[in-house]
Structure 1
Amino acid sequence: MISLAYIIVFMQEIERKFLVNNLQFKEEATNAFEIAQGFLNTHPERTVRVRIKGQQGFLTVKGKSNESGTSRFEWETEIPVAEAKQLLVLCEKGIIEKKRYHIPHGNHIFEVDEFFGDNEGLIVVEVELQHENETFSKPTWLGKEVTGQPKYYNSQLSKKPYKTWHHE
């Protein structure tokens, strides 16, 4: 008999993205872990992502963002890390390598992604919200908002990495 002990999450993801203006976040982080992820599909209407986070594997489907870029459908399930490693081999070109930091601030957890490899030098912050107009306390290291700018989506960074940008 096959065990179906995997967690499946269906949700509407509501988040805002920012850059950082200094590295102070590292001193405030409560934990950090390495992530490798690739995309089986990067269609504009949906993405299918494979992720290895520590010793966990995940398969995630994300829908198209709304007009403001703050909200979209997300479905995720945990899969064995061995299967995630096999699926990474099938992914489109451009595996994302990053370290994710969790930083509690106010009533939220800020997730800071420090990218490596072809995206080295890029640091993006995400904060998940309960609703699109939710206010939140902003840490001093929070920089320019980039919510809704597709070039900062991981699926786009896998195709056009940060190192290829003509830096702003």
Structure 2
Amino acid sequence: MLEIERKFLVNSDAYRTEAYDEIEIIQGFLNTDPDRTVRVRLTGTKGFITVKGRTDTDGTTRFEWEREIAPEEAKNLLSICEKGVIRKIRYLVRSGNHLVEVDEFYDENEGLVIAEIELQKVDEFYLKPEWLGIEVTGDPKYYNSQLSKYPYARWKKH
């Protein structure tokens, strides 16, 4: 149950034409402690609860446990989450043998676009689409749990 991923800023909207699907996501956090982040997510007609552990020193790997829950349960849990619910559209793009998830954030995180590539191994080769920009893997300010507390609109410099 390890999640291995790389995170990037996105430098153009070309991913939109390459996407084979898009999903609206609403998520909140029951706990944002880096040792045990607990997320609740509503994606259309599905709900999820996810527990993530602390990220390793290079920022690529951490424990992740996720279970699908009823959408009504997710809505009820979202109502008791910490302040700072996140709303975003996720675009799904195939790149070689990998899936790239591109998140366009809204509300207080509007203007921020982040792409993630999940890997099987830390040093695994992946094709990097041209629209992937600066890598931000391991930078905590780009974690959704932190964006819920310190949104992009409040950053001094973009």
TM class by shorter chain equals: over 0.9
Q: Which residue in 2 is equivalent to 1:5? A: none
- Say which of 67, 71, 81 aligns to 1:91: 81
C-alpha separation in 2, matches of 1:135 and 1:166: 35
2:11 matched to 1:21? yes
Q: Which residue in 1 is equivalent to 2:25? A: 35
2:97 matched to 1:107? yes
Q: Which residue in 2 is equivalent to 1:145? A: 135
Question: CA offset at residue 64 of structure 1?
Answer: 0.3
Q: Which runs of 5 or more residues in structure 1 are unaligned? A: 1-10
Task: Trace 1:63-102 onto structure 2 (pairs within 5 A).
Answer: 63-102=53-92
C-alpha separation in 1, matches of 2:124 and 2:34: 27
Supply the RMSD in Å over aligned alpha carbons.
Answer: 0.6
Count of residues paired in the alignment: 158
C-alpha separation in 2, matches of 1:51 and 1:37: 4
Task: Trace 1:108-147 onto structure 2 (pairs within 5 A).
Answer: 108-147=98-137
Q: Which residue in 1 is equivalent to 2:45? A: 55
C-alpha separation in 2, matches of 1:60 and 1:142: 26
Q: Which runs of 5 or more residues in structure 2 are unaligned? A: none
C-alpha separation in 2, matches of 1:100 and 1:110: 10
Question: CA offset at residue 90 of structure 1?
Answer: 0.5
- 2:79 aligned counterpart, secondary structure: helix
Question: CA offset at residue 62 of structure 1?
Answer: 0.2
User: Structure 1 counterpart of 2:111, which letter?
Assistant: G
User: Structure 1 counterpart of 2:61, which letter?
Assistant: S
